Structure formats: structure tokens, C-alpha cells
Structure 1
Amino acid sequence: MYERILVPTDGSAVAEVAVSHAVDLAERYGADLYALYVVDIDAVNLGLGTEQVDRIRQGHFGEMDELESRASSATGVVAEAARDRGVDVVEETRVGRPHKVIANYAEKEDIDLVVMGSHGRAGVSRALLGSVTERVLRSTHVPVLVVDKQGTE
């Protein structure tokens, strides 16, 4: 049923809950797992100059070792969990608007299922803060499994 499962991660506790589900599903179905970290260019753009942002867009982190380290750490958690269960994993880092990058990656890589965490916000809080998960749901035709962190506490 699932041969290629994507788990976008930012290294947060919410993402780690989704990672657990994604690894379980990948093991159960014999699927390959794709760990994707997206450098949110809009967030980065606020504190950097144009030249640095352009380099990051091209995938050259340069002095931005912290970004590269954060990405490597986040996808590394997925890779370690997957390898412990005998699941093949591909680690990727991309730059852009997270929901667009995730949706495009899912389409391009022929992903069968996206597994993402959610903070479980509702109402005004969700409307004001937005939600990468909600935007991914609206941006792709690939099935998305949303794991609600509140339901696991």
C-alpha cells in the first residue's frame, strides 16, 4: 500500500511524534522513508541580508552552520529511528516556504503518504499562527496522516 513515506521534520517534539508513526508504518509496509527538513526562507529572511539569503536559496549555508546543524540533527533523528528498525531512509534538506516545498517534494518523489505532526491548535490560534500541516493538506493530492501531539500526551 505504501512504498514511499515522507516525514517532514523540524526537530520539534511534535515532529518526533510523527516520526514514530512514520517509522512504524514504513516498517509495517516495507516502505522507504524520506526525512525532509525545510529551511523556511521567510523566517530566515527576517534576520539576514539579501546576499546570505540568496546563498541559502542555492543550498550554500556558508557561515550558517547553525542551519545546517539543525537540519542534520532533525533528519538524523529520523534516520536513526528508521535504521534501528531496518527501514531504508533518505535524508534531505530543502529551502523555501515549507508547505510548498513539502507538497512539491511529495509530488516529485512519487511519495505515497506524508506523515506530519500538528500542535492541535484550533480556532483563532490556528487562524493567527497558520499551520504548515494545514497548508500541506491544501497543497497536495498525496494522502497526509496528521498526528496530533495533544492526543499523545
Structure 2
Amino acid sequence: MKKILVATDFSERSDRAIRRATLLARTFDAALLLVHVIDDDQPQRIVRAEQQASADLLAAQTRSLREVDGLRCEFRIVFGEPFEGITQLAREANADLLVIGPHRRQALKDVFVGTTAERIIRSSDRPVLMANATPAGPYRHGLVASDLSECSGDALNAVQSLGLSQHMKVSLIHVFDAVALWAQSRASLSEDEVKDYLDDEEERAAAELSAFLAKLGLDPMPQILKPATAPVAQVISSVARDIATDLVIVGTHGRTGIAKMLLGSVTEELLRAADRDVLAVPPRRAGQGAA
């Protein structure tokens, strides 16, 4: 990881993203690029005033990150829609990682689809880290969610290509279907029958997961297998809390056309409700090899 782009709107949420990006830059000896987007669909005098005020704030932040934190840091101001400006600059700057703050949770509802955060993640062609938790130190334990799809393979490869696995423990969770169990009335099954069935399904899932990792050419890693006795995102979040992971890594499931416009439902739910950081990994770009 050589360059980290962090988006800021000067809010407390953005401060969280800058702090996390700072910790990552220290860990990886990476350069930081701060970006702020100004809506240019307003009177030019307002645009100019916002540009000057933003430049002053960014210059002060950049100076502090250089002098106090000892980081290589610069800033850019772009104009237009936030999600377009941020993702375009990430491409132009060839950033390895894009860091954003948590999405703004509104009173009485928790809407994620349509937010700037969701649109950035949906349109980005490089990993996006949503810094949900207050940064207290470098990451210690990451949890990669896998459904044995190509997209979850991309997430696993990103852990290695970004160098994350060199600096923290990484575990893998696979939530497997237990279709036959729920197709029948559980009342018709004894506890022993339920246990035997789940044991068989877990053994099958473990074999599939091992084959999946071998196909990717990845070394074995700590694995957690859980039956889908609740929505998958809830199972992943519960395990993340139980084993005290501070980062959840998941693929976005976007590809091309209509599919690219949508996030996978599990990814969306994790991003919407997560109480810890989430790294959303898009499909590998054309010509990009595996780690």
C-alpha cells in the first residue's frame, strides 16, 4: 500500500477517517492524499468562498500531518458531485485505498442506499474503507466474509495485495446454508438429528472452503463456519463482536451494467449497520492479477 486517499467534508465523521488513514499510512509508510469536494452547482461567489475556506483548512491539516505525524501528505480540491469527484481522483492518483467516514445516520431511520458513502462504494474501482469505529490504534484482527464467490475471492486477494495480512491477524468466516433443516419443521427433528445434520453440513462447507482457498492459491487461515440461522450479515456481525475483530472485509458483488449499480445485500447490510470498520472490495480491475 503506497498511497491512501481520504475524503473529508470537515465533519467529525471525516476526522475519524483521517485518523484511521493516518494510522494506516504510518503502518505502511504510505503517502496520504486529502480530498474535499465542492458543489459547483451554486453561485460562483459562493464556490470561490468555499474554495478559499477549504484550502485554508486543508493546508492546516496537511501541515499538521507532515510536521506532527511525519507523513508525506498533500491535498486536492475537486468540484462536482462528491462521489464522482472522489472516485475519479482516486483513479487519477492511482490510490491503493480510499478511506471515508461512516455514513450519516438519520434520526428515526437508517438509510444507506443513495447516501454519498454508498455511491462512492458502488462506483469505486478500488477498495473503500469505511471508518465506523473511533480509531484507537493499528488494526489487530480482520475478518474476511466469504460466500465462495469470485467476489469474495477478490476480497481475500485484496487482503494480501494491500499488505494487511502482514500487519494483523486475519480470519475467514463462511456462513453456510442449512436448507434441509429449515425446509422441515424443526419440531419434527430431535436435538440429536439437528446436531448430526449441522455437523454434516459444516463438514461439507469446510471441504468446499478449503478447495476455494486452494483454487485461489492462498495459504490456510483460521476459519469460522456458521450455519445461516439468521440473516448472513447478522451472523457475520455477531461473530465479529464475539472474537473482537476491528475490521470486516467483504466483496461488493458489483460487475457491469445493472449489476454494477447494486451492492450485494450482505455487503449493504454490513455497511449500513456495522459498529466497526468495513473494507469493501470491488471486483478486480481488468488486467489486475491476483496477489
Alignment map for 1:66-77 (pairs within 5 Å) = 66-74=50-58, 76-77=60-61
Quote how far apart the aligned CAs of 1:81 are: 3.1
Aligned length: 135
Work out the CA distance in 2 between the residues paired with 1:76 and 1:7.
Answer: 15
Quote how far apart the aligned CAs of 1:125 are: 4.2
Query: Who is 1:121 aligned against?
Result: 105
Which amino acid is the alignment partner of residue 8 of structure 1?
A: A
Q: The residue matched to 1:148 in structure 2 has which SS?
A: coil
Query: Who is 1:41 aligned against?
Result: 40
Aligned pair in 2 of structure 1 residues 112, 83: CA closer, same or farther (>3 Å)?
A: farther
1:107 equivalenced with 2:91 (yes/no): yes
Query: Who is 1:81 aligned against?
Result: 65
Q: Is the 8 A contact 2:103 2:112 kept in 1?
A: no
Which amino acid is the alignment partner of residue 19 of structure 1?
A: I
CA RMSD of aligned residues (A): 2.7
Alignment map for 1:3-152 (pairs within 5 Å) = 3-42=2-41, 45=42, 48=43, 52=44, 56=47, 61=48, 64=49, 66-74=50-58, 76-119=60-103, 121=105, 124-126=109-111, 130-148=114-132, 151=275
Work out the CA distance in 2 between the residues paired with 1:149 and 1:12.
Answer: 15
Q: The residue matched to 2:21 in structure 1 has which SS?
A: helix
Q: Is the 8 A contact 1:7 1:34 kept in 2?
A: yes
- List alignment gaps of at least 5 residues for structure 1: none
Which amino acid is the alignment partner of residue 3 of structure 1?
A: K
Q: Is the 8 A contact 1:7 1:115 kept in 2?
A: yes
Percentage of identical aligned residues: 27
- List alignment gaps of at least 5 residues for structure 2: 135-274, 277-291
Q: The residue matched to 2:52 in structure 1 has which SS?
A: helix
Q: Which structure dedicates a bigger proportion of its chain to helix?
A: 1
Q: The residue matched to 2:9 in structure 1 has which SS?
A: coil
Q: The residue matched to 2:57 in structure 1 has which SS?
A: helix
Work out the CA distance in 2 between the residues paired with 1:110 and 1:80.
Answer: 24
Aligned pair in 2 of structure 1 residues 79, 17: CA closer, same or farther (>3 Å)?
A: farther
Aligned pair in 2 of structure 1 residues 144, 78: CA closer, same or farther (>3 Å)?
A: farther
Quote how far apart the aligned CAs of 1:78 are: 4.8
Work out the CA distance in 1 between the residues paired with 2:56 and 2:116.
Answer: 20
Q: Is the 8 A contact 2:58 2:75 kept in 1?
A: no
Work out the CA distance in 1 between the residues paired with 2:7 and 2:59.
Answer: 9
Query: Quick one: higher RCO (CA 8 Å, sep 6+), 1 or 2?
Result: 1
TM-score, normalising length: structure 1: 0.75
Q: Is the 8 A contact 1:10 1:71 kept in 2?
A: no
Q: Is the 8 A contact 1:38 1:94 kept in 2?
A: yes
